[in-house]
Structure 1
Amino acid sequence: MKKNKTVTKKELAQHLHDNLGFSVRSMSRVVDEVFELIKEALIIGEPVKIVRFGTFEPYERRGRRGVSPRSGEAIEIPDQKTVVFRPSPTLRKNLNAR
């Protein structure tokens, strides 16, 4: 994989193809299925833990008052769901070693 570039699903599938020998099309389906499983778990509120990589956790932001940058008037920002990623100690150690 190239450095200083965003990794795409297509590149993940190509990397799996290069290392495992299965077709790019089947590896693309595998990548899609993995992301679909992660997405489904997060939607129902379950964290997704990938050992030696990290944990994806659903997180609910409370609504708050804000100011519209265009008009300057006060607005209500509703509750929002988002995802938080917490890297594992192993990943953090590897990132800091470089």
Structure 2
Amino acid sequence: MEETSTLTRADLAEALHRTIGISRTDALHMVEQILERMSDALAAGENVKISNFGTFLLNDKAARIGRNPKTGIEVPVSARRVVTFRPSQGLRDQVAGSRGT
């Protein structure tokens, strides 16, 4: 299996610095502000849609009975809200097209 790398906040800030020419500090601040706004929106119950990228959706999961896979004992799993990501068709096509490289 091939090793995959991870894109970080610092990588995004560096790309902004190189592409736009703003300082590294300003670029990192901009990335932080965008991520903070997205987090705040999700925490407030809003979905986050980024055109040509995808949508971060909030889903409410009902309480249920789960099972400990090690012991087989049933345990209650509380209701919770989860964030899921649905990629746009353009992103799906781009990712699918990059598999051959």
What SS does structure 2 have at the residue aligned with 1:45? coil
| Matching residue of 2:5 | 5
Question: Given residue 37 of structure 2, which amino acid in structure 1 is its aligned partner?
Answer: L
Q: Distance in 2 between matches of 1:93 and 1:58?
A: 24
Following TM superposition, by how much is the alpha carbon of 1:60 offset from its aligned partner in structure 2, in angstroms?
1.3
Q: Distance in 2 between matches of 1:63 and 1:7?
A: 34
| Matching residue of 2:74 | 74
State whether structure 2 residue 6 is matched by structure 1 residue 21. Answer: no
Q: Distance in 2 between matches of 1:73 and 1:4?
A: 36
Q: Distance in 2 between matches of 1:24 and 1:53?
A: 24
Aligned length: 96
Pair 1:24–1:79, CA change in 2 (3 A): same
Gaps of 5+ in 1: none
Partner deviation per Cα, 1:6-63 (whole Å, 9 max, x = no partner): 1010111011101111111111010001001111111111111101001111111111
| Matching residue of 1:56 | 56
State whether structure 2 residue 39 is matched by structure 1 residue 39. Answer: yes
Q: Distance in 2 between matches of 1:4 and 1:65?
A: 35
Deviating 4+ runs (over 3 angstroms): 69-72
Gaps of 5+ in 2: none
Q: How many percent of aligned residue pairs carry the same amino acid?
A: 33
**TM-score, normalization by structure 1:** 0.88
**TM-score, normalization by structure 2:** 0.86
- In angstroms, what is the RMSD of aligned CA positions? 1.6
What SS does structure 1 have at the residue aligned with 2:75? strand
| Matching residue of 2:97 | 97
